[in-house]
């Protein structure tokens, strides 16, 4: 990831929605450090443990509450990371998924209608079924297998049709810490291993994960620029969920027998699982003039080579939760 030239600051003040998710949570800390006092993050009303300076409780679908927030701060830019990504909850309660993932976007669009507010919206690779060989490009038709994916497609369509100056970014798994220590891929899998509980992951659900450090810088550049339309932002390394868990298991120094694997067909009917939803992000790199995403993990020595790779511990091999935090939750190349 190399920036050709220094980027200007994004329009401020900035609103970041969906800060309970891994992407939003890490973006909030990045932008608040870069632009102190100029960034506000919002989370759902019932998520009371997530609190602190610059954090406001406001449901995405709360029109009056969001209007008061906009009137108070006069936001010049919005990074929309909001969305209910709990696959099972969305399947069991589609109206809730629609209210959070679609009506929330409608509400946000009403807030900025007729205003020159810069909008960057994060979508997801699960708008695809993954029934083929992956490598999806932006022009490929969407065919989600989950309610979550369906609502994210609807949100994309709303933004692209009503806000042509916005940028919609499809990401995959954001790899960073979560606010509660057990959300997101790294923290959820790691939390199972820490408690000496098994974790079962799928051999044939394949993603293109990216460090949140990279996604933060990318969001900053997009907010500061005028790139518009739909772009894929999947990392350059393709990994199955099982392989991701192998990395976490071995780098974290956890017991290898705690990791189980199976094909996604064995997962049961709810929620349905996507297959190979890897994305091709060349269009984004070409538009920016640089490749914004490093591979996760950055170091090739931490990339699994077969299904028993996580069991092959070498004498004196470094492995610990601290190392995991240093090389998997953060991009070592950007540390500093």
* In contact, 101 and 155? CB cutoff 8 Å: yes
Which pLDDT belongs to residue 3? 56
- Domain covering 14-242+269-329, topology: Rossmann fold (3.40.50)
Which pLDDT belongs to residue 6? 61
CA gyration radius for the chain?
19
Please provide residue 322's backbone torsions phi and psi, each rounded to the nearest 5 degrees: -65, -40
Which pLDDT belongs to residue 183? 87
CA distance 210 to 76: 27
* In contact, 206 and 215? CB cutoff 8 Å: no
Which pLDDT belongs to residue 82? 92
Which pLDDT belongs to residue 312? 96
The per-type count for the chain, helices as H runs and strands as E runs, is 11, 13
Residue-level pLDDT, tens digit, the chain, 336 residues: 555 556 689 999 999 999 999 999 999 999 999 999 999 999 988 887 888 889 999 988 889 999 999 999 999 999 999 988 889 999 999 999 999 999 999 999 999 999 999 999 999 999 999 999 999 999 999 999 999 999 999 999 999 999 999 999 999 999 999 988 888 999 999 999 999 999 999 999 999 999 999 999 999 999 999 999 999 999 999 999 999 999 999 999 999 999 999 999 998 888 999 999 999 999 999 999 999 999 999 999 999 999 999 999 999 999 999 999 999 999 999 975
Per-position DSSP letters for 217-285, written without gaps between them: HHHHHHHHS---EEEEE--S--EEHHHHHHHHHHHTT--GGGEEEE-GGGG-SSS----B--B--HHHH
């Amino acid at each position: 990831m190399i920036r050709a030239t220094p980027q200007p600051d994004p329009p401020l003040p900035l609103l970041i929605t969906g800060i309970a998710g891994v992407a939003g949570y890490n973006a909030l800390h990045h932008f608040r450090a870069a632009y102190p006092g100029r960034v506000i993050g919002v989370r759902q009303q019932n998520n009371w443990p997530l609190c602190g300076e610059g954090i406001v409780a406001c449901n995405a679908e709360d029109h009056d509450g969001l209007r008061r927030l906009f009137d108070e701060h006069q936001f010049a830019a919005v990074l929309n990371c909001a969305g209910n990504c709990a696959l099972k909850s969305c399947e069991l309660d589609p109206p809730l998924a629609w209210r959070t993932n679609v009506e929330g976007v409608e509400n946000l669009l009403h807030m900025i209608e007729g205003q020159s507010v810069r909008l960057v919206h994060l979508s997801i690779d699960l708008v695809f079924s993954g029934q083929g060989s992956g490598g999806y490009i932006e022009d490929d038709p969407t065919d989600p297998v989950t309610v979550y994916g369906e609502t994210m497609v609807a949100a994309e369509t709303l933004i692209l049709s009503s806000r042509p100056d916005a940028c919609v970014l499809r990401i995959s798994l954001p790899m960073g810490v979560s606010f509660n220590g057990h959300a997101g891929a790294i923290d959820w899998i790691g939390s199972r291993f820490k408690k000496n509980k098994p974790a079962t992951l799928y051999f044939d659900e394949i993603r293109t994960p990216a460090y949140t450090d990279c996604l933060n810088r990318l969001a900053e550049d997009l907010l500061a620029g005028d790139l518009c339309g739909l772009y894929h932002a999947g990392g350059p390394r393709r990994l199955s969920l099982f392989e991701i868990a192998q990395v976490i298991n071995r780098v974290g120094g956890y017991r290898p027998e705690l990791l189980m694997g199976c094909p996604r067909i064995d997962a049961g009917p709810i929620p349905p699982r996507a297959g190979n939803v890897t994305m091709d992000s060349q269009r984004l790199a070409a538009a920016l003039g640089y490749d914004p995403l490093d591979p996760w993990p950055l170091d090739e020595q931490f990339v699994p080579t077969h299904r028993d790779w996580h069991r092959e511990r070498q004498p004196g091999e470094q492995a610990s939760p601290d190392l995991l935090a240093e090389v998997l939750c953060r991009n070592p190349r950007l540390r500093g």
